[in-house]
């Protein structure tokens, strides 16, 4: 994980959330919570504050709220580059990102309606 206690963006959890959003380029709150290992409510409150500050944007995709960095944020290029650099150093987060499932389930698989 990032340097233990790295609070570059307020708290270590907030910093990891931003780095994960940058590395994923588009994600949703429950995926972030699972990747980072924190409660969904914690991630949701961080996302609300980041969206209020216009650092991220969200959009509904069906019933899922997708979040990504705001391309219109005044320092988007610089912030994106910094978050990418931080993500390069976090081998634990990279391993968790590589192991996640991003493709849809096979049609007709049991358990789907």
Expressed in angstroms, the distance from the first to the final Cα of the chain is: 38
CB-CB contact of 32 with 21 (8 Å): yes
For residue 25, what are the CA distances in angstroms to 4, 19, 22, 111?
24, 10, 5, 29
pLDDT at 10: 87
Name the strand (E) or helix (H) holding 61. strand 56-61
pLDDT at 100: 78
Name the strand (E) or helix (H) holding 95. helix 91-99
Name the strand (E) or helix (H) holding 16. helix 12-24
Question: Would you call 62 helix, strand, or coil by DSSP?
Answer: coil
Q: What are the residue boundaries of the structural domains of the chain, listed by start?
A: 12-95
DSSP state of 73: S
pLDDT at 112: 42
DSSP state of 27: B
Q: What top-level class would CATH report for the domain 12-95?
A: mainly alpha
pTM here is: 0.83
pLDDT block averages, 10 residues each, the chain of length 113: 68 94 94 94 97 96 93 96 93 87 62 46
pLDDT at 111: 53
State the Cα–Cα distance between residues 31 and 33, nearest whole angstrom.
5
């Amino acid at each position: 994980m990032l340097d233990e206690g790295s609070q570059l963006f307020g708290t270590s959890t907030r910093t990891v959330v931003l780095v994960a959003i940058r590395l994923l380029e588009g994600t949703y709150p429950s995926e972030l919570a699972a990747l980072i290992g924190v409660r969904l409510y914690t991630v949701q409150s961080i996302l609300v504050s980041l969206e209020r500050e216009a650092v991220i944007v969200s959009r509904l995709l069906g019933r899922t709220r997708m979040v990504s960095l705001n391309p219109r944020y005044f320092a988007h290029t610089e912030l994106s580059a910094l978050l990418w650099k931080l993500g390069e150093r976090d081998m634990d987060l990279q391993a968790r990102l590589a192991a996640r499932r991003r493709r849809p389930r096979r049609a007709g698989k049991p358990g789907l309606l």
